[in-house]
Amino acid sequence: MFDKVLIANRGEVALRVMRACREMGIKTVAVYSTADADTLPVRYADEAVCIGPAPAGKSYLVMSNVIAAAKTTGAQAIHPGYGFLSENAEFARACADNDLVWIGPAPECIERMGDKSRARDTMKACGVPTVPGSDGTIESVEEARAFAESVGWPVLIKASAGGGGKGMREVHDPADLEAQFTAAKTEAQAAFGNDDVYLEKLVLRPRHVEIQVLADAFGNFAALCERDCSIQRRHQKLLEEAPSPALDEVTRTAMCEAARRAVEAVGYRSAGTIEFLLDSDNKFYFMEMNTRVQVEHPVTEMITGVDIIKEQLRIAAGEKMLSASRERFVPNGHAIEFRINAEDPDQEFRPCPGTIERLVVPGGPGVRIESYLEQGSHISPYYDSLIAKLIVWGSDRDEAIARGRRALSEFVIEGPGIKTTIPFHQRVLDIETFKAGNACTDFIETEMGE
């Protein structure tokens, strides 16, 4: 096992990784921008190195600075967390070129699964169900129109190098195709430096269900049940739960087997997630693979008892994962994760940076908090607005919902100008469609309005 690991991230995920390392006796190195100099993860780490000014493009995304910090401190490995450089194949290769272990999959896997068009072709070849889509990227509006006419409207334009809903546009009316095609390519270029797009038949009112996977170098594979991530705004997840209230055991087994085929097809070694769309007939289709740990991983940990970060570390160190002896997992209870963002839900989720003057964190049975917040913490305008994750566990879904309602009522984050998504989540829990377990990806638009 490693003696020292550098965490190439910030905020709650950096602290999450550091805590796993400390329990395993591994020393940690934090990297930070000048805006994060006095944050909890920087103080928690055994060592800390400033890698640049506040903008991420001048600090957390500067590969040479992160590599230099690792070399200077004697770290043996780099954990990227999620976001920033976590799915950057070039960075993974730079780690190897500098004799540093990349705590994640091989760069070839990142490239193969990160390009959504290529990933879909790979899944089709290994028998994983896929949504009818274009053969490779679409270069022109005329080509896009021909595809749409062949499979039928509506269609979905997706950036090949995309993620987080960037470069993605639904087209219901043929008259809108040209404008949406241009907008998707423009947004993809700005977000990823790559304007390639492809098209898929749009599955109407689907659920977003994903399988958490682990695989090591000894041929061991584990599917850690599923998560339901259907509560979204503009393709950005806001609330996740595990297991999915929509899956029966037959569908769960089939989805886990499809995830196994996906992992084996690309020789994947690490933690990852296979994401599916589930239609109203319980048919599922491959959507994408995330080649990293995800924001919502705690709900899976709560129903399986597996520490996914520790398993990542073991796999990267060339050890056998502890989950190897439990290939088939059965959900234990129910967990829900509420993403607490510094955003105003009543103002189209406008970001609300500021300094926290009052912080009260919920506790009690079945409550877990993932956050870097302290009283006096400054919520920076430079980074993602996620400031905390509230995870609750119950013996069944009803208890998890009741526990979530109680914990949200205890959670206080106050300061000048600061609004959070806590009231939004409280409203979600009171909507009958959610309580009945029937939420689809259009839940916010159909049940709440924006």
Show which residues are catalytic. 292
Report the distance separating Cα 145 and Cα 163, nearest Å: 24
Which residue from 28, 51, 52 is spatially nearest to 40, judged by alpha carbons? 28
What are 22-29's contacts with CB under 8 Å, separation 24+? 23/310, 24/310, 24/313, 25/1, 26/1, 26/2, 26/313, 27/3, 28/4, 29/4, 29/5, 29/69, 29/70, 29/73, 29/75
Q: How far is CA 22 from the centre of its chain?
A: 23
Cβ pair 158, 185 in contact under 8 A: no
* Other C-beta atoms lying within 10 Å of the C-beta of residue 336: 26
Token digits of residue 361: 């964190």
Cβ pair 354, 378 in contact under 8 A: yes
Token digits of residue 325: 């002896």
Give me the torsion for CA of 285, 188, 104, 383, rounded to 10°: -120
Which residue from 404, 394, 381 is spatially nearest to 54, judged by alpha carbons? 381
Report the distance separating Cα 29 and Cα 126, nearest Å: 40
